[in-house]
């Protein structure tokens, strides 16, 4: 069958990314998507708006406060500096943070999201040649959890973990001397502000000097700048191939 136009191809990709089901050139959408387009089930709907293509071919921008060479580093892993290059970049792994459990129901090795109250601090101190980490003790109705930091300023940690307030955290549980602990949580947010860790977090390829959170923010900002594209396939075609709709 004849190949898709670029605007059709780019429009087709947008919502599949938004739904978290990444498709791209390596998955041969030009072949798979256009074969469906050539079937008798092809819709007569208006073609995707050219503004979608314009948005995807626009230059991507680094988040505010990022280092000056951020886009140079991103171009190394994404293959370019356009919005299209970022939304086509596939994650190489994902972290599932959907497990939410009380402290007492977690096990060694769990990646879990927990809401608990800050119970106290044990600041870092030196004993001879050994430097003990800063520990924050959390509690809920089922038990205690030690949050451990081997680096970090005490004043900053005190502000980050105010005693008596609740925090929503996400990270990996480990055991130390028979007690549950979490080393340097991946996320620490205030549930009173409506904040929450992502349920599933994509992990993208990186290069030296490029931080994962910076790349994630750049990709999300790029997606936010792309308008929704209309569905141009018949619903029967989408259903037959088990594709997400636009």
Where residue 7 falls among pLDDT bands split at 50, 70, 90?
A: low
For residues 97 and 194, give the distance between their C-alpha atoms in angstroms, rounded to a whole number.
17
pLDDT at residue 227 is higher than 90 = no
10 token code pair: 């780019």
Where residue 105 falls among pLDDT bands split at 50, 70, 90?
A: very high
pLDDT 10s digits, 49-88: 558 888 999 999 999 989 999 999 999 999 999 999 998 8
Per-residue confidence (pLDDT) for residue 51, from 0 to 100? 84
Beta strands in the chain (DSSP E): 93-96, 111-122, 125-127, 130-132, 134-140, 143-149, 166-176, 179-183, 187-189, 200-203
Give the N- to C-terminal CA distance of the chain in Å, as an integer: 22
Give the range among 92-101, 117-126, 213-222, 231-240 with minimum mean pLDDT: 231-240
Q: Is beta strand 111-122 parallel, antiparallel or unpaired with respect to 125-127?
A: unpaired
**More confident of the two residues 26 and 178:** 178
C-alpha 152: how far from chain center? 24
Per-residue confidence (pLDDT) for residue 23, from 0 to 100? 40
pLDDT at residue 128 is higher than 60 = yes
pLDDT at residue 27 is higher than 80 = no
pLDDT 10s digits, 151-200: 888 999 999 999 999 999 999 999 998 999 999 999 999 999 999 999 99
Whether 48 and 230 have beta carbons less than 8 Å apart is answered as yes
For residues 150 and 165, give the distance between their C-alpha atoms in angstroms, rounded to a whole number.
23
- Sign of the dihedral defined by the CA atoms of residues 65, 66, 69, 74, in that order: negative
Per-residue confidence (pLDDT) for residue 3, from 0 to 100? 52
């Amino acid at each position: 069958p004849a190949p898709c136009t670029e605007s059709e191809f780019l429009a087709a990709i947008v919502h599949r990314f938004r739904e978290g089901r990444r498709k791209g050139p390596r998955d041969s959408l030009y072949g798979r998507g256009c074969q469906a387009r050539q079937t008798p089930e092809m819709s007569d709907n208006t073609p995707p708006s050219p503004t979608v293509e314009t948005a995807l071919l626009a230059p991507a921008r680094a988040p505010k406060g990022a280092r000056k060479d951020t886009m140079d580093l991103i171009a190394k892993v994404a293959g370019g500096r356009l919005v299209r290059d970022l939304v086509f970049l596939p994650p190489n792994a994902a972290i599932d943070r959907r497990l939410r459990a009380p402290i007492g129901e977690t096990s060694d090795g769990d990646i879990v999201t927990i809401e608990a109250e800050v119970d106290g601090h044990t600041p870092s101190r030196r004993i001879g040649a050994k430097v003990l980490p800063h520990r924050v003790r959390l509690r809920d109705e089922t038990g205690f959890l030690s949050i451990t930091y081997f680096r970090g300023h005490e004043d900053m940690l005190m502000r980050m973990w105010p005693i008596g307030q609740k925090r929503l955290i996400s990270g990996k549980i480990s055991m130390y001397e028979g007690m549950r602990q979490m080393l340097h949580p991946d996320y620490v947010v205030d549930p009173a502000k409506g904040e929450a860790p992502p349920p599933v977090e994509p992990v993208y390829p990186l290069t030296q000097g490029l931080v994962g959170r910076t790349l994630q923010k750049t990709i999300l900002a790029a997606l936010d700048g792309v308008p929704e594209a209309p569905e141009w396939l018949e619903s029967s075609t989408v259903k037959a191939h088990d594709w997400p709709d636009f």
